Amino acid sequence: MKRGSAAAPEPILAARGITKRFPGVLALDDVDLDVYPGEIHAVLGQNGAGKTTLMNILFGLVQPDEGTLEVFGRRVRFRSPHDALTHGIGMVHQTRRLVSAHTVLENIVLGHPRVRGVLNLRAARTEVETLGNRYGFTVDLGARVWQLSEGERQWVEILKALYRGARILILDEPTSALTPPEVKTLLAGLQGLVRGQGITVILVTHKLPIVMSASHRVTVLRSGKVVVRLKTAEATEEILVHHMVGRDVAFRSTDRALPTGRPLLEAEQLAAFNDKGLLALRGVSFSLREGEVLGVAGVTGNGQEELAQVLAGLRPAASGSVRFDGQDITRLSPLQRWQRGIGYVPAERSEVASIAAFSLVENITLNYHFDPAFTRRGVLDDAGLERLTQRILSAYNVKAPHQHTRAQHLSGGNLQKLILGRVLSRRPRFLIAHLPTHGLDVEATAFVRASLLDARAAGAAVLLVSEDLDEILSLSDWVAPIYEGRFGAVLSREEADAETVGAMMAGSLLKGARGQ
């Protein structure tokens, strides 16, 4: 070290040689991780890369087979999350762990070691309010959790961890269910915690724009090993994807002239009830030409599921109409629409789009059993269906031992590619893709997005329903933010920027925007 130079900071958390084996799987292989005080440290990797296992070890949910941990310069061994919390490590899981019927205050103090016997809520309120003021939180402590937005629930989880003394916060996919404004608020709050309060954040996420905008350093895992450690300022999204996947990946649309001519699909004042009998879709209108992508951007529960199901024929329209290629199809069945060239990729790939106990061939057959090319006098052409399945497995890069493997044994990405291949192999003229990349890793996401763009290039009209704003903006020719069952507007590619679309997804700017 040069004379007069400052000493390099010591890691606040150091993992050394962490190895973890499960039956038949080496989940982590000699992993080192250094997290420094007052930083947001992003941990990236595809599904199965080992991120969750590593975080569970840091939080005491899983014990490593080999390796050591040091926290605040002391060697530690966690046998439970209580041990981790005792040493200042808290974790906010992707799935909310709050009791909906209880108040915010009750959720924060619930299970706290200091709560013994009779709970003094008045004293607890004072403590939590003091903590909230210190960290700049403004959550209503008396509100029931079910009354809160997803963004507010996220802050409750964070405040709960801080109330337990966490100085190192592990956040697992913290923005997965948030609107863009809520994401912006969350990231600004995390920056405030890091800069002003000395909290250190370990951020696990699939969303590269968030990594680039919020983190200070990045560690990338692939196949259970660390492949790169770098400062975020020295990285790009392309560099990070390359390290995550092991090769270059591109999945963005390019600017092009839009098609002209009459619309292929026209929806007029569509309305529909949800499964609870409440009006969920409230008078949606749009039109779409062949070779166009309309991106419907919204947070779950704003009517986009009902819209997709009405267009696919799975849910009746309460009012309004759907015209396809000039003909009214409002009352046609899903099969009749499928036969006319309308394809549907549901959001629930395991519950709706496939049957877990069926083989891959049988799952492909679900969309071909009526096709004269594969059935004669009611008897299926098994050999023909097996050949078709093999072509789809090959063309869509579905990794499976063989075509008679049960669907339940495929990873989420491979199952989604099978479902997409089953639909696209019929070359639909209109494709409805509902959350097509939700929960997928970078490589599978890139493949699915490229497949959607290939369908568009082949002349299909595509309705893309997604909660990923970056995905919507990168793939769509037109963007329709949806909030409480209504489109705020139908925006052109040029009009649709992240701020405008994000505000509309949250219910703002519903008037004054230009439509299609």
Partner residues linked to 89 by β-bridges: 168
In this predicted structure, what is the pLDDT of residue 508? 72
Spatial CB neighbours of 106, under 8 Å, sequence gap ≥ 6: 99, 121
pLDDT tens, position by position, 25-46: 899 999 999 999 999 999 988 7
Partner residues linked to 279 by β-bridges: 273
The whole-number average pLDDT for the span 387-394 is: 92
Contact 163, 86 (CB under 8 A): no
Whole-angstrom Cα distance, residue 349 to residue 160?
Answer: 33
In this predicted structure, what is the pLDDT of residue 118? 63
Whole-angstrom Cα distance, residue 374 to residue 368?
Answer: 7
Whole-angstrom Cα distance, residue 318 to residue 316?
Answer: 6
H helices present in 144-261, as ranges:
150-163, 180-197, 208-214, 237-245
In this predicted structure, what is the pLDDT of residue 355? 92
Whole-angstrom Cα distance, residue 419 to residue 325?
Answer: 25
The whole-number average pLDDT for the span 311-336 is: 96
Spatial CB neighbours of 487, under 8 Å, sequence gap ≥ 6: 284, 285, 286, 480, 481
pLDDT at 247 over 90: no
pTM of the model: 0.72
49: helix, coil or strand?
A: coil
Q: Nearest 5°: phi and psi at 121?
A: -65, -30
What burial letters (b/e) apply to 385-399, b meaning 16+ CB within 10 Å?
Answer: bbebbeebbeebebe
Can you give the residue ranges of every domain in the chain? 13-245, 263-341+428-441+450-510, 353-425
Q: Nearest 5°: phi and psi at 203?
A: -110, 115
E strand or H helix at 422, and its extent? helix 412-424
pLDDT tens, position by position, 411-444: 888 899 999 999 999 899 999 999 999 878 788 8
In this predicted structure, what is the pLDDT of residue 62? 93
Contact 171, 204 (CB under 8 A): yes
Query: Average model confidence (pLDDT) for the chain?
Result: 87
The whole-number average pLDDT for the span 205-233 is: 91
Spatial CB neighbours of 503, under 8 Å, sequence gap ≥ 6: 180, 181, 509
Burial group, residue 73, by CB count within 10 angstroms (0-12, 13-18, 19+): exposed
Whole-angstrom Cα distance, residue 411 to residue 219?
Answer: 24
In this predicted structure, what is the pLDDT of residue 258? 75
In this predicted structure, what is the pLDDT of residue 16? 96
In this predicted structure, what is the pLDDT of residue 4? 43
- CATH fold of the domain at 13-245: Rossmann fold (3.40.50)
Q: Nearest 5°: phi and psi at 257?
A: -75, 135
pLDDT at 157 over 50: yes
Query: CATH assignment of 263-341+428-441+450-510, given 2.60.120.260, 3.40.50.970, 3.40.50.300, 3.40.367.20?
Result: 3.40.50.300
Give 116-154 as a 3 state SS string: CCCCCHHHHHHHHHHHHHHHCCCCCCCCEHHHCCHHHHH
The whole-number average pLDDT for the span 74-101 is: 90
In this predicted structure, what is the pLDDT of residue 116? 59
Amino acid 42 reads: A
